[in-house]
Amino acid sequence: MPCPIARALDRVGEWWSILILRDAFHGLTRFDQFQRSLLIAPNMLTKRLNDLVAAGLLERRLYNEHPPRYEYVLTDVGHDFRPVMIAMMAWGNRHFAPEGASSIVVDAETEEAADPVLVDRATLRPLTEADFKFAAGPAANDDVKRRMAFVDRKRKKTDG
């Protein structure tokens, strides 16, 4: 499927996978650490770790030869998921935490709470709905171009 959102969900869309990545960002690397943190069945954890390794988000490294034991460390692709994780956390806190935020992002030096926003790297402008839109990319096929043209026409009708 050419949709980048569908491709991303194919790699991390299962909720255990996202929680494993969350724990990896917190420094967990070993099977027993993930299992203790998540209270996940061993067979499910094995499958999800294997899927994340196959998707290139985690790398499996031998840390003990006898008996063989492995750790799972974030790859560059895995590290690139961090802003997505931060955005999900901020969205979850904003809309689904009536009791208040259970975890937040803070400045590592000052411990001041951050308010995460997605910005354009070139201009540093927040990517608001009013100022930015989705568009067909250079590798878009005819179906994607048609869908984007349809969405653009619908947007212009509601705006105009």
Average pLDDT over residues 87-112: 95
Is residue 97 very low, low, confident or very high in pLDDT (cuts 50, 70, 90)? very high
Tell me the whole-structure pTM to 2 decimals: 0.87
Where residue 44 falls among pLDDT bands split at 50, 70, 90?
very high
> Residue 160: pLDDT band by 50, 70, 90 thresholds?
low
Record the tokens describing residue 68, joined without a space.
């063989």
| Mean of all residue pLDDT scores within the chain | 94
Question: Degrees (nearest 5) of the Cα angle 21, 24, 27?
Answer: 160
Nearest 10 degrees: Cα torsion 135, 137, 140, 142: 40
